[in-house]
Chains A and B, each alone.
Chain A
Amino acid sequence: MSLTSDLKSFLTLNGELFRFTLRFFRHGLNPPFEFSEFLKQCYVVGYKSLPLIGLTAFIMGLVLTMQLRPSMADYGVETQLPAIVSIAVIREVGPVITALIFAGKIGSSIGAELGSMKVTEQIDAMEVSGTNPFKYLVASRVLACTLMLPVLVMLGDAISLYGAYLGVNIHTNTSFILYWTQVFDNLVFGDVLPAFTKSFFFGFAVGIIGCYKGYNSSKGTEGVGRSANSAVVVSSVSIFVIDLLAVQVTDILGY
């Protein structure tokens, strides 16, 4: 009985989320555009997330290098450390970790903000004021997330690789130029393009799920908390699902 109801609620969530996404494509992308709100959201979603993304990316690069070193030293390929770390960071670790941090920070904030606006009738007030709240609140946030996450991933990757450079230099003395030469010699277009492309989908998922959860929030302040929480959980799971699909697609395409 419980399994049936769980399955039913899972399917309902997916169905409603799909309808919400269709509504975004049907109504959210038509003029008139809420351009100033979109720019404000780009600032909030992108610029204000940079310190957190930068810090986690730096630590990630440093730790990944330190963890890989012993195993690589055992196989006698310690000199390949910059190449291995760069491929791991660019292809997988950078986009996924950045997207997960982004989901935690932005997904929850969108879910809570829209949820709180919903339960305090601010969304209704917006509609009465001659504004399409879906365009103003949802379209601007989803577009900002979709466009800002790839930028954050690129910056995060660069910071992460700098952290890896410091990690490499804990035990060896590798020059800055040699390190970056090794990194770029081992990276090809096929490493960068799929990772960059999938980060758009990660950003879209975080934005649309955060907005869906907040926009459909109910049951007062308790509902707002639940919206924020489930926005993070659902978007984090979605990031892994999209990643899995992206890996399959890149595999088929031969990247």
Chain B
Amino acid sequence: MKSELKLDKKSNKVLIIKDLSKSFGNNQVLKEFNLELLRGESVVVLGKSGSGKSVLIKCIIGLIKPDHGSIHIFGHNIPDLDHDELDQIRAKVGFLFQSNALYDSMTVRENLEFPLRRHWLEISQMEVDKMVIDALEDVGLAHTLDMMSAELSGGMRKRVALARTLILKPEIILYDEPTTGLDTITSKEIIELMVEIQQKYKTTSLIISHDMNCVRMASDRVVMLIDGKCYASGTYNEIIQSVDPKVKLFFE
């Protein structure tokens, strides 16, 4: 019997990361990283390749265990939770993978049904069908319902992955490099879709990216992840006006 986790929905700070550190062998990727995410805001974590952005987001969702520090989501410290408790948090936190991570052996419908069936055990087929269609309509791909994921283009795969993330109606969405591998036009469409979804569902977003268009269009606040730390933070306009050479390097 699963014990129900009481989620703190009153606090304005939905995610609090304190002194997060993670090493792989001698390589210390995150060094006492700190971040707070407020309800309804969209924060982009900007950093160069290999700076530990994906490690950070995987620590947040509980896929990687940090060496030190805490990650509180809705009042619960993620590294302290057991598997069942973590599942309850994950039902409220959507995750869009860099590689989309659509299940190759399943159709688009089955891909979307999978998290629904797993998290919401007592749900009728009629409700499942409606939620799948609604999620696909949100991303403009209702016609792909019975297609295999291999039949979709890169942009369509990203949209289906986003629909799968949305289907559980998460309160926080974590995006891991959402525009990687997409052409400029498709990237722009995906970013516009992310912004539209955030406004429609009032979600809180944490976006990991090194795409300047994504930073400019989707961020309320930008956090610079440099040398494993939160090096600088501010709005897009504040950050681009920074005189710090390490920050300026990103905008040259």
Using CB atoms and an 8 Å cutoff, list the residues of chain A in contact with chain B.
113, 116-117, 120-122, 124-132
Contacts and interface: CB of A to CB of B under 8 A. Distances in A.
B90 interface: yes
A10 B18 CA distance: 41
A113 B105 CA distance: 10
Contacts of B101: 120-122, 124-125
B115 A129 contact: yes
Q: Which 8 A-B pairs have the closest CB atoms?
A: A125-B101, A129-B115, A130-B118, A121-B101, A130-B87, A130-B119, A121-B97, A128-B95
A122 B103 contact: yes
Contacts of A128: 61, 63, 90, 95, 115
A125 B104 contact: no
Contacts, number: 46
A132 B95 CA distance: 17
Interface residues of B, number: 20
A120 B105 CA distance: 13
Contact of B119 (A124, A126, A129): A129
Contacts of A127: 63
Contact of B104 (A122, A126, A130, A131): A122
A120 B61 CA distance: 17
Interface in B75-97: 83, 87, 90-91, 95, 97
B236 to A, nearest CB: 29
B98 interface: yes
A120 B111 CA distance: 15
Given A121-B97, A121-B98, A125-B97, A131 B118 contact: yes
Given A120-B104, A128-B63, A130-B87, 11 more contacts: A113-B105, A117-B104, A122-B101, A122-B103, A125-B101, A126-B114, A127-B63, A128-B115, A129-B115, A129-B119, A130-B115
A109 B75 CA distance: 43
A113 B63 CA distance: 21
A127 B99 CA distance: 15
20 contacts: A116-B104, A117-B104, A120-B101, A121-B99, A122-B101, A122-B104, A124-B58, A124-B101, A125-B95, A125-B97, A125-B102, A128-B115, A129-B114, A129-B118, A130-B87, A130-B90, A130-B91, A130-B115, A130-B119, A131-B114
Nearest to A132: B83
A128 B94 CA distance: 8
Contacts of A130: 87, 90-91, 115, 118-119
B128 to A, nearest CB: 14
A34 to B, nearest CB: 11
Contacts of B83: 132
Contacts of A126: 103, 114
Interface centre among A116, A121, A129, A132 (most CB of B within 10 A): A129
A132 B118 CA distance: 10
B19 to A, nearest CB: 25
Nearest to A131: B118
Nearest to A113: B105
Contacts of B102: 122, 125
A129 B105 CA distance: 16
Nearest to A125: B101
Nearest to A116: B104
A31 B61 CA distance: 24
A113 B106 CA distance: 13
